[in-house]
Amino acid sequence: MNNQDFRKHAHELVDWIADYMENVREYPVRSQVKPGDIAAQIADIPPVAGESFESIFSDFQNVIMPGITHWQHPRFFAYFPANSTPESQLAEMLISALGVNGMLWETSPAATELEEKTMKWLGQMVGIPNNWSGVIQDTASSATFCAILAAREKATNFHTNKSGLYQQAPLKFYVTREAHSSIEKAMKMAGLGSEHIHFVATTDDHSMDTKALEQAIQKDRSKGFVPAGIIACIGATGMGAIDPLEQIGNVAREEGLYLHVDAAWAGSALILEEYQHLMKGIEHADSFVFNPHKWMGIQFDCSAHFVRDKETLIRTLTIMPEYLKSNQGVTDYRDWGIQLGRRMRALKVWFVLRGQGTEQIQQRIRQHIQWAEKLAETINNTEGFELITQPRFALFTFRALSNSGDDDNTESNELNDALIKAVNDDGFTYLTRTVINGQSVIRWSIGHTNCTWEDVESSWEKVKEKASKLQ
């Protein structure tokens, strides 16, 4: 394709994208295709001769689009959001055009220095101490993996990096049952073994019981294990559980354990003054991660990973072959994560924060939280429904009650699973489920940039309509 054709098609695509953003409500939120539907329409062998852009783009519209689940749909209430904003999309266009690989400072000084600055901005916004450092990872899973590796090296005096774990007593990591599955994955990848995750008991609100944490650590020590790290969660995935950071921080400090804080989703809400108290004790933590790509309008992928002592992280991950030797005294972000090559993600952070200001982002997130509280109250007052967990930030869980009135979970679990399926097969709105105390419940998570109260209300009407046919 020559540049003249590129210009023409790029303009067409921008128009298509703007139309998409305007009309995204017309699509079913969750893709309605069946497994294999899309693959059946794609050739089994690559074309030998190049094809026209018109024919590729026409297939994009006809073949690919039906297989898209619309994360940018304002009625996407499933999982957690991965929202976007126009500013972020514009930045992604430039990132894509420059095609920078920011592995070293000198492979694009602006990529590195902008990343350092924008991470300082994000850190100030969520309440990270000023002397911490930050790096943008692809996902929270990567940040947590790096944290567990750093904790492993700290606990073994950096011997594991060199000699492996062959003579090492098992290292123990402490989390609650609410902790994200990325921690188990990280334990497997780090060679530590998933069975060495110690699940600590929780209090009534599903947050970590710090007394139980202390006892667990003592018990493991007495058995000859090596307690190495704690992962505390602010806003866990199931129903938004919040671990008491200050108390856990004290235990971590007293016991000499590495403390990583996973606030992947709820971290964006920490920019609201009314939630800043949850960060009390952060100075006792070693690292913290949140995903601006979930709720801040800085689109996927963008995960903000902060560390108190960057040397521990760098010493854990640095590799220095001759062909990568570089300038002294500058930041080479290839030493801060799993990847060598890295995208210039800081540009979209900069565009969104400058274009919207913290004020606009705060307003939007605060609005989502208010709507979640309002809807949860409505559901609580609606006959035939039961609120299971109160809103934490903008997430709550509820279930429909079966008409028979008995308390057998089997029946109400079947009802709620059928309800979720009916709602998602309809396509008007999109919700997902979880299990709490053996009960199948529906999660409702608000977070799309363009969501309105009307989207929330009409989706609730849809849920009631579907439920009435099943109850």
Ligand X SMILES: *Cc1c(COP(=O)(O)O)cnc(C)c1O
84 binds ligand X (CB under 6 A): no
In terms of CB distance, is 57 or 300 closer to ligand X? 300
Contact call for residues 217 and 255 (beta carbons, < 8 A): yes
Nearest by Cα to 56 from 25, 116, 19, 12:
12
For ligand X, which residue of 85, 118, 141, 429 counts as binding (CB under 6 A)?
A: 141
Q: What are phi and psi of 71, to 5 degrees?
A: -65, -20
For ligand X, which residue of 151, 187, 197, 264 counts as binding (CB under 6 A)?
A: 264
The two structure tokens encoding residue 404: 């028979």
Options 37-45, 137-145, 313-321, 342-350: segment touching ligand X (CB under 6 A): 137-145
Contact call for residues 442 and 379 (beta carbons, < 8 A): no
For ligand X, which residue of 262, 286, 332, 335 counts as binding (CB under 6 A)?
A: 262
Options 70-78, 134-142, 151-159, 407-415: segment touching ligand X (CB under 6 A): 134-142
For ligand X, which residue of 78, 111, 114, 140 counts as binding (CB under 6 A)?
A: 140
Options 230-238, 358-366, 385-393, 428-436: segment touching ligand X (CB under 6 A): 230-238
Contact call for residues 289 and 128 (beta carbons, < 8 A): no
83 binds ligand X (CB under 6 A): no
180 binds ligand X (CB under 6 A): yes
In terms of CB distance, is 268 or 459 closer to ligand X? 268
Q: What are phi and psi of 306, to 5 degrees?
A: -110, 140
In terms of CB distance, is 302 or 401 closer to ligand X? 302
70 binds ligand X (CB under 6 A): no
38 vs 436: CA distance, rounded Å: 35
395 binds ligand X (CB under 6 A): no
Q: What are phi and psi of 467, to 5 degrees?
A: -65, -40
346: amino acid identity, one letter: A
242 DSSP assignment: B
Q: How far is the CB of 119 from ligand X (least distance, A)?
A: 16
In terms of CB distance, is 268 or 402 closer to ligand X? 268
In terms of CB distance, is 128 or 233 closer to ligand X? 233
Site for ligand X in 11-40 (CB under 6 A): none
Q: Could you please report the per-residue DSSP string of 381-403?
A: TSTTEEEEEEEETTEEEEEEPPT
For ligand X, which residue of 291, 389, 413, 429 counts as binding (CB under 6 A)?
A: 291
Distance of CA 471 to the CA centre of its chain: 34
286 DSSP assignment: S
- Residues that bind ligand X (rule: CB under 6 A) add up to a total of 14
Q: How far is the CB of 183 from ligand X (least distance, A)?
A: 8
Options 14-22, 136-144, 345-353, 438-446: segment touching ligand X (CB under 6 A): 136-144
Options 42-50, 259-267, 336-344, 364-372: segment touching ligand X (CB under 6 A): 259-267
Q: How far is the CB of 288 from ligand X (least distance, A)?
A: 12
Strand order across the 439-445 sheet: 385-392, 395-400, 439-445, 432-436
Distance of CA 388 to the CA centre of its chain: 23
422: amino acid identity, one letter: A
303 binds ligand X (CB under 6 A): yes
266 vs 127: CA distance, rounded Å: 13
444 DSSP assignment: E
Nearest by Cα to 94 from 360, 357, 350, 353:
350
Q: How far is the CB of 268 from ligand X (least distance, A)?
A: 11
207 binds ligand X (CB under 6 A): no
Give the interface with ligand X as residue ranges (CB under 6 A). 80, 139-141, 180, 182, 233, 236-237, 262, 264-265, 291, 303
